[in-house]
Structure formats: C-alpha cells, structure tokens
Amino acid sequence: MSRYFPAFLDLRGRRCLVVGGGAVGTHKAEALAQCGARVIVVSPTATPSLAALAVAGRLVHRQRPFVERDLRGCALVVAATGIGAVDGAVAALARRRRVPVNVVDRPAQCDFIVPSVLRRGPLQIAVSTGGRSPALAREIRRALEALFPPSYGEFVERVGEARIRARAGGATVAARAAAAEQVVKTALSVGRPGD
C-alpha cells in the first residue's frame, strides 16, 4: 500500500518556495514556474539556468541563506540544498507552519513526492515508485514517451474542443460521454492520434 495520494495541484499564482539553487533546485523551480506558480528560490548561489529564469522574470531568486520568514504564505516548499541538516531544518519549520514540504532524495521526510512526468500538451502521465526508485520511474516515463508521441497533445486539445461543443449543443451527459468515447476509440483504432 502506498502512503501517497496521487493528485495534480493547481498552483497558478500561488507562492512556492525552493530552498537550494543547484541543479536539482533549478529543475524543481523550473517545473513549478511552468505550472504558473509564483516561485521564490532562496540560495546563496544559482546555476546559470536559474539565474536566467530570474532575469526573465519567471521566478524570484533571493541570494542568501534560508530564513524561517521565507515560508510565509507558501503553498508548498521544496528543500533541495543537498545538505541534510539544512533540508531537515527547512522541513521541520515548514511542518510547524503546516506547509507541505518535499525534501529531495529523502522520501521519509516528505509530505509529498514529485513523480516523473510525461507531458504532451494537456496530457500528463505521472509515474511514481513512492520514492523508492526515481531512476526506475524515469525509465518507465521514457518508455511511455514512445507510446505517447507529441501528437497526443494536439489530440487531447481536439477532444476537449469537441467536448465543449457537445456541452454547448445541449446534449445529455450520457450522449456526450458516448460521443467522446466513440471519438477516442475511433482515433485509437486507426493508429496514433494526430499521425
């Protein structure tokens, strides 16, 4: 049994804190920014990629060590310094404030874990091993990339547009569901959507 509940969070406009400006912190900050979160990175140093994201206005980089007040108003926190004592302190302070925290590479200290994600437009497939083997989750995601080429993103967009039109046309819920299922089955029976 897994201790984690799979969910997708809407973080648009919500303040998310990443503590650590190395490669892992940069990756986490970029993923949060892609979701529309208001990302604050606290770290005395920054990778060139992180600095570029800050210059582009995609996140805020506070070039200093973490302090407890950084947690104010945060929807979630990622501790990614790679220094056990620092990440543990960030986690303890976040929990005290009831802010969910992810401590990179320390699943026992996490309130949530971040899966390996395949993105094809609005289609997102998340793979998790419950923190036991992120490398295995990445390999499974890579295998899924061949099964779900980029054209799936466009297909999901078209199916979504058809759903909106069906709603506007006054069709019943059952009729809309049947029509959507037929569109999907037809597309899948002739090959990969969009090919």
Q: What is the pLDDT along the chain (195 residues), one digit of tens a residue?
A: 788 899 999 999 999 999 999 999 999 999 999 999 999 999 999 999 999 999 999 999 999 999 999 999 999 999 999 999 999 999 999 999 999 999 999 999 999 999 999 999 999 999 999 888 999 999 999 999 999 999 999 989 988 888 888 888 888 888 888 888 887 887 777 666 655
Residue 158 lies in a domain: yes
In the chain, the number of structural domains is 2
| Predicted local distance difference test score (pLDDT) of residue 194 | 57
| Predicted local distance difference test score (pLDDT) of residue 165 | 84
Residue 126 lies in a domain: no
Buried b (16+ CB within 10 A) or exposed e, 146-173: eebeeebbebbeebeeeeeebeeeeeee
Q: Which domain CATH number covers 65?
A: 3.40.50.720
Residues 106, 29 within the same domain: yes
What is the reported pTM?
0.86
| Predicted local distance difference test score (pLDDT) of residue 93 | 98
* Distance in angstroms (rounded) separating the CA atoms of residues 64 and 156: 43
Residue 75 lies in a domain: yes
Distance, CA of 17 to chain centre: 14
What residues make up the domain containing 167? 151-189
Residue 194 lies in a domain: no
Residue 110 lies in a domain: yes
